[in-house]
Amino acid sequence: MQRYSVIPGHHARELVLLKGGPCAWGRCAFCDYIRDNSTDELLCDRVNASVLARVTGQTGQLEVINSGSVFELTPGTMAALRRVVEQKQIKKLYFECHWSYRHRLQEVRDYFGVPIVFKCGIETFDDDFRNRVLKKGIVYDDLQEVRRYFDSVCLLVGIQGQTKEMLDRDVKILLEHFPLGCINVFCENSTDVRADAQLAQWFCQKYAHLQNDPRIDFLTDNTDFGVG
Ligand code: SF4
């Protein structure tokens, strides 16, 4: 498994895929990458130490993903990560975090002492599709509530059951309300969720310009970040 890469572009950053404890939510219908989770803290720390040793600080920015949320990294890995931030002079961190941890984000800011971009896997702003079909467990009253906690949201596109109208609305909301975002074209995996290849093709053509939008990471394959 590839666990380190460097993402070029406007928000150039190193990226590490760390091994964390079980995703506290763990119920998203399309997700099978929680198989990388482990309750063996020593194993997690050992794997993560070798990954973190590759961080050079070359861009001053580091994104950390862990098939879950930052809160599921072990204490040992968090300490190792903080040492890397100090030693490699990392000026900005990116973490993924499930909605259920939204009230605890300040703990992470305080721990690292550098600006942090928290990314939330909203997947779609269609409440019914997000929660009934994708089983994300993300319920909010209005978009301002989401924006209050998260600078960046991730969209998942090209799933059977999604419509063009739904995806148009998702992109519109992302661009109008959030400074940063990530768009992932769904790739079939071991779950029962099926891709809609035609819809994905339509989306990639219509929104090809977003590949060059500095606000957006546009991933047409789930290994486009160079990890996984
Ligand atoms: S919150 Fe993320 S890691 Fe956890 S089940 Fe959902 S998609 Fe997978």
Instruction: Say which CATH number the domain at 201 has.
Output: 3.20.20.70
| Residue nearest to ligand 1 atom 8, measured at CA | 31
Residue 137 located in a structural domain: yes
* pLDDT given at position 13: 96
- Using one digit for the tens of pLDDT, what is the confidence trace for 134-154? 999 999 999 999 999 999 999
Cβ-based burial of 102 (10 A; exposed 0-12, middle 13-18, buried ≥19): middle
Cβ pair 91, 117 in contact under 8 A: no
The counts of H helices and E strands in the chain are 7, 8
Percent of the chain at pLDDT above 70? 100
In a domain, 50, yes or no: yes
Q: How many CA atoms lie within 13 A of 209 on its CB side?
A: 3
What pLDDT sits at residue 32?
94
- To test the ligand 1 pocket, which listed residue (18, 27, 30, 31) has its Cβ within 8 A of the most ligand atoms? 31
Query: What mean pLDDT do residues 212-221 have?
Result: 93
Q: Which of 23, 30, 67, 187 to mutate to test the pocket of ligand 1 (most atoms within 8 A of CB)?
A: 23
In a domain, 228, yes or no: no
Q: Tell me: pLDDT of 223 over 90.
A: no
Q: How many domains does the chain have?
A: 1
> Structure pTM?
0.95
Q: What angle do CA 40, 56, 76 make, to 5 degrees?
A: 25
Does residue 29 belong to any structural domain of this protein? Answer: yes
Whole-number Å distance between alpha carbons of 208 and 14: 24
**226 within some domain:** no
Is the confidence at residue 48, as pLDDT, over 90? yes
In 8-160, where do the E strands start and end?
Answer: 13-17, 61-65, 92-96, 116-123, 152-157
| pLDDT at 222 exceeding the cut of 80 | no
Query: For the packed helices 75-87 and 41-52, what is the interaxial angle rounded to 10 degrees?
Result: 10
Assess whether pLDDT exceeds 80 at residue 202. yes
User: At 183, phi and psi to the nearest 5?
Assistant: -115, 120
Range of the domain at 205: 4-219
31 close to ligand 1 (CB < 6 Angstrom): yes
**133 lies in some domain:** yes
Position 114 pLDDT exceeds 90: yes
DSSP-H helix ranges across 96-228: 105-112, 127-128, 143-149, 164-177, 197-206
What is the pLDDT averaged over residues 17-44? 96
CB of 122 closer than 8 Å to CB of 153: yes
pLDDT tens readout for residues 187-200: 999 999 999 999 99
Assess if residue 179 is contained within a domain. Answer: yes
Residue 108 lies in a domain: yes
Average pLDDT over residues 21-46: 96
